[in-house]
Each structure stands twice: as structure tokens, then as C-alpha cells.
Structure 1
Amino acid sequence: MKHRIKKNINWPMKNKSNSKTVIEEMKKYTCRGSFRFAIEDNISHVCDAPAKHGGIYIIHAYSNNKPRLVYIGSSGKKIVATGLFKERKDGIWGRIVRGTQRIAGSKSKERRCKFWVKEMDNGGVDFLEFDWFVLHDKKAFFDCPETVEKSLISKYNPSWNIKHNSKVAIFDVM
């Protein structure tokens, strides 16, 4: 899928530092990709995450060409009673585009496509960069996305996860 590049936004490369980043930790997963989303985009058009696999998505917000880790999410979970993996019917794509997000301090939820835009507006964010990784493909990888997500959130404390108390784990499971 081709991405629309906005003429008025200078798309910088991610800051590469010598320290181990959340993206570098995910390099073992060979089925991966990324896309960028600006407020004027339609998320369902720019999202190129797979609709048939479970995995992780990691979001960096860019303000003044500087990236900041803001959110880690997952699609797919282990069923406790059986220990089997259950995929979301529309995969990582569905979780990003159609999923819902709990609103901080409330029991209500809103669609993630609206949540991303609202958080961008509130935080002065120019655009978001989504990196996605297939963790459970029934061939090479059988990692549970929900377990990996909790571990990464605990380790990196992304601001939107913490703000909205999204699966914050107090232990390291990796």
C-alpha cells in the first residue's frame, strides 16, 4: 500500500541512539512494517498493518521533528482456560483502525481512530509513526502479543498508556 506524503510536513528519520530502543528489541520479528499518520489523514487508508495476524504496534509522536514514544498496543491474546492463542478477526489493522480506547478517568471508551487525533491535538503532535510487528504467525513466531505488550509498557512507560492506564504491568514478563 502506498502512503500519501504531505507536502507541508518534513518527515524526519527516527532518532537513532546507541541505547537499546523499543524498536530494536523487536527486530527478531521479520514480518513488520510502519506507516505515518497526520491529523488530516484517514487512518484506514494509511494503515498498512496486517488484518490476519496478531502482534504489537508501537507509536512515536513527532513534535518539531523530535520523536517520543507514546503508546504500545497489541492485537491477540492468550485464552487463560486453554492456553491457546486467539487472534482478533481483523488483526493488527483492526485494533489500530477499529479498536476502542478507554478514556482516562472514565469507564467509557472511544474509537482509536478518534483517540489518536484527539491526543495529537492535545499534545501539539505533528504526526504519528506506527511500527507494527507480527508476533504470532503460526509459522515462525508464536509469542503472545498481550504478554509482550505488558512487558514493553512496564519497561518503557509510554505516556499515553500511562495516562489512560492501558494494561500497565508492574512486573517484567520477558
Structure 2
Amino acid sequence: MLTTTFAAVLVSAALAEAPSAPAWETNYARASETAVAQRKPLAVFIGHGESGYNRVVGGNMPTEAGRLLSTSYVALYVNADTAEGKRLATAFGVEEGLVISSRCGNLQALKYGGAVPALDLASYLTKYSAADVAVTTTERAGTAVVAAPVVTSSCANGRCGTVVTGGYYTPAYTGGVSSCPNGRCPNVR
């Protein structure tokens, strides 16, 4: 009984000591180095203005999310209104939102475009802070979308060939001769 009570007091004290708001890093290189050194995921909040991270979380930072960010992540805020912030936002492919890396920092675990609802934020932070989570693909949510396929062509009007899902261009001809009249075969799959 005494042991259980003592354990409950220690857990309560530890939770009370954990800050409910993260210490925001604003330098990407330093945040990345820290995350890798501490084997923590990097949580990149991309917003606009000095405290744009509040818009990313749909208002004020929820207490549980703040605690998770403080203890289990390196939290980076990117102000997309600055030149460097705009460059980073473009590199991440998110104008405003959240990107979470793997613990090694070499993969994106989550790319969320737009404001993240409080319940979803806590869920994502819990999920990707777990020591046993293996990141193999990027989870996309919110308004984060896969880029549209890009077609490059040497055909008249760029209209011969086939656009295959995923953005790859496949010529519709062999030996340099088009199989379509006037070289204009818009075969989109």
C-alpha cells in the first residue's frame, strides 16, 4: 500500500514538473542535430508570424500535447513569413502544418497540412514518440497532398505518350515513330 502510494506521488510530481509548453527551437540545423543526438523525433510546426504554431494547433497548445512535445520531441517552429522559413516550408511541401520525423531524422513519419485538431495532435504525438514505432512511409493528413504528375514531352503540344499514376511519362511510340495520328495521343491512365 505504501509503495503504491509512493509511486503515485512520484508519477504526479514528474507530470507536474513536465512543462505544458515546449521550448521552441527556431534553427532547423540545430534542432535536427539535437533530435538525432537525443534520439527524439523532430516535430516541425510550420506557421505564419511570431507565434503561428498556435494556428497550427487550432488555438492554444493542448496541455497533453505540450507535455509530449517537451519530453519526447525536439519542437521546431518555422515562421513561413521569413525568407528561411519560406524556403523550409517549400522543402517540406507544407505551407502551414506539422511534419514529424522518425527518431533517426532520416524519414518523415507524418506530414499534416493545415491546422491539426487537438485530439489528432495528441494522438500523432503519442504514436510517433513511442520507442517501438517503425517509420517506413510518410502518413499524410489534413490538406497535405501528393504532387500532381508532371509530364515532359518532346511531342507537338506535349500531348503524346501516357501519364501513369505517380507522375511517370511513358512514350506511346517505339523507334521514335508515334503510334498516334499527328503524334497527339493523350492517353492518360
Q: Which has more strand, going by share of residues?
A: 1
TM-score normalized with structure 2 length: 0.29
Higher relative contact order (CA 8 A, sep 6+): 1
TM-score normalized with structure 1 length: 0.31
